[in-house]
Amino acid sequence: MKTSLLLVAHGSRRAASNDEVRNLTQNLAALAGERFHSVDCAFLELAEPLIPDGIEQAIQQGAEAVYILPYFLSAGRHVSQDIPAEAAPKQQQYPQVEIKILPYLGSAEGIVELLLKLSQH
Amino acid sequence: MKTSLLLVAHGSRRAASNDEVRNLTQNLAALAGERFHSVDCAFLELAEPLIPDGIEQAIQQGAEAVYILPYFLSAGRHVSQDIPAEAAPKQQQYPQVEIKILPYLGSAEGIVELLLKLSQH
């Protein structure tokens, strides 16, 4: 199955923050290699593409599944409500495409190891 | 040298988000073992302890150095200006203590590997 990965960040008025996410997405695509049909990013607000447009682009590029990876640190309203609400109409529009929301970054077990590594700087 | 680690998050009106940070800090302390004199968290706003109080507590517990680890994803104003501004008066008050601000989480190289791992859920 052709699965596309969509890294979803909040979006910022500060262009450099959005560019940080875009650079990270390029690195993620490079590391993922052939694992995904495509790897792109989208934003909840304040930057483009917005989530529905990101999903649409992935589907237009042939994705049969779109996995949304929330680049968020806590399970707040954005993760629990806003991102699912942005994705739902696209799921209705394309019932044959599997649109799945993955665990958010802050829930990753490995984050503790990463913080410990940073503390050695 | 007795070094204390202070994980600094933004702070949220949502108590569960602040508790997520506190739990993470406990896990970080457990993983760090004897590496630090103490491992605690503090918040930029909206939750306690605030950054100056977190630094003060570490020093009162005998820290000779306090390493501040920003739990933030992008290098925005909070990381570049607000956290240093909160720490500066404590550095003036305690010139013999080394107060250092570490790289923020979003700048960690390992974050790409962590995202790729999450994408396999």
Contact (CB, 8 A) for B109 and A27: no
* Residue A42 confidence (pLDDT): 98
Q: What strand order describes the sheet that includes B38-43? A: B38-43, B3-9, B65-70, B98-101
Span A93-108, mean pLDDT?
97
Q: What's residue B115's pLDDT? A: 97
Whether residue B76 is predicted with pLDDT greater than 90 in this model: the reply is no
CB neighbour list of residue A102: distance below 8 Å, 6 or more residues apart: A67, A68, A69, A70, B118, B119, B121
Flag if B118 and A106 touch (Cβ within 8 Å).
no
ipTM of the complex: 0.94
Please give the residue of chain B at the shortest CA–CA distance from A21: B74
Angstroms from A114 CA to nearest CA on chain B = 7
pTM above 0.90, yes or no: yes
Interface of B with A in 70-99 (CB under 8 A): 71-77
Out of A95-99, B3-7, B53-57, B71-75, least confident range: B71-75
What is the side-by-side order of every strand in the sheet holding A3-9? Answer: A38-43, A3-9, A65-70, A98-101
| Integer Cα distance of B13 and A71 in angstroms | 20
Mean pLDDT of chain B: 96
Q: What is the mean pLDDT of residues B19-38?
A: 96
